[in-house]
């Protein structure tokens, strides 16, 4: 279930995220649900599988902005790190970031589904 406590347990900085949403929990939760449902996570994975680093960068950059605004820190941090590598189109193994991202987005979606 999506509450301030469960989001804090997830590792989000809810104080920061709420501040951007004018301290309106309903508004914040609605946007968190939208972010969790964002197909960008799958697009990012597919782009990396296909080694389409241009599309991967655009997707990661977009996700980074949203996750930063909502202070979903456990997702924001690895996405932000990846974005800097993708900005230079580095042809490296992005698994070290994708593994935690995949697990954490699954956890967030589970919170949003309940």
Partner 1 sequence: MPNEPDSLVLRNEALRRENDELKKQLMEARDANTAKEVFLSSMSHDIRTPMNAIIGLTALARKHIDEKERVSDALNKIGVASNHLLNLINEVLDMSRIDSGKLTLEEEPFALSDLLHDTLVIIRPQAESKHHTLRFGADGIVYEGLIGDVTRLRQIFVNIANNSVKYTNDGGEIRINVTEEPDGDRVILVFSCDDNGIGMSEEFLRRMFEPFERASNSTQSGVEGTGLGMSIVRKLIDAMNGTITVRSAPGAGTSVRIRIPLRYETLSLDTSALRNANLLVIESSVRRRELFRTYLDEFRIHFTLAESPSDAIAAMTDADFREDPFTGVILGTTGDGNANIYDIASYIRKSNPSLPIVLVSKDRWEDIQYRANRSGIDYFIPIPFFRKSLINGLNAALTHSSEESDGFGAAPDLSGKRFLLVEDNIINMEIATELLAATNATIDRCANGREAVERFAAAEPNAYDLILMDIQMPIMDGYTATRAIRALDRPDAKSVRIFAMTANIFAEDIAKARAAGMDGHIAKPIDVTKLMQTLRRFA
In sequence order, which ranges of 50-94 are alpha helices (DSSP H)? 53-69, 73-87
Give dist(CA 15, CA 106) in Å, integer: 23
Does 69 sit near partner 1 (CB under 8 A)? yes
Work out whether 31 is an interface residue with partner 1 (CB under 8 A). Answer: yes
Say whether residue 81 binds partner 1 (CB under 8 A).
Answer: yes
Cα within 13 Å of Cα(39), Cβ side = 3
Q: How far is the CB of 55 from partner 1 (least distance, A)?
A: 8
Q: Is 35 in the site for partner 1 (CB under 8 A)?
A: yes
Alpha carbons 32 and 48: distance in angstroms, whole number: 25
Positions that interact with partner 1 (CB under 8 A):
16, 19-22, 24, 27, 31, 34-35, 38, 54, 57-58, 61-62, 64-66, 68-71, 77, 80-81, 83-84
């Amino acid at each position: 279930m999506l509450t301030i406590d469960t989001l804090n347990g997830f590792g989000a900085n809810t104080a920061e995220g709420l501040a951007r949403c004018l301290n309106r929990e309903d508004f914040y939760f609605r946007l968190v649900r939208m972010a969790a449902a964002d197909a960008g996570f799958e697009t990012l994975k597919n782009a990396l599988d296909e080694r389409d680093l241009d599309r991967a960068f655009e997707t990661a950059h977009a996700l980074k902005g949203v996750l930063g605004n909502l202070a979903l820190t456990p997702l924001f941090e690895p996405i932000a790190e990846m974005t800097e590598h993708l900005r230079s189109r580095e042809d490296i193994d992005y698994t070290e970031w994708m593994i935690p991202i995949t697990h954490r987005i699954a956890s967030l979606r589970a919170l949003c589904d309940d």
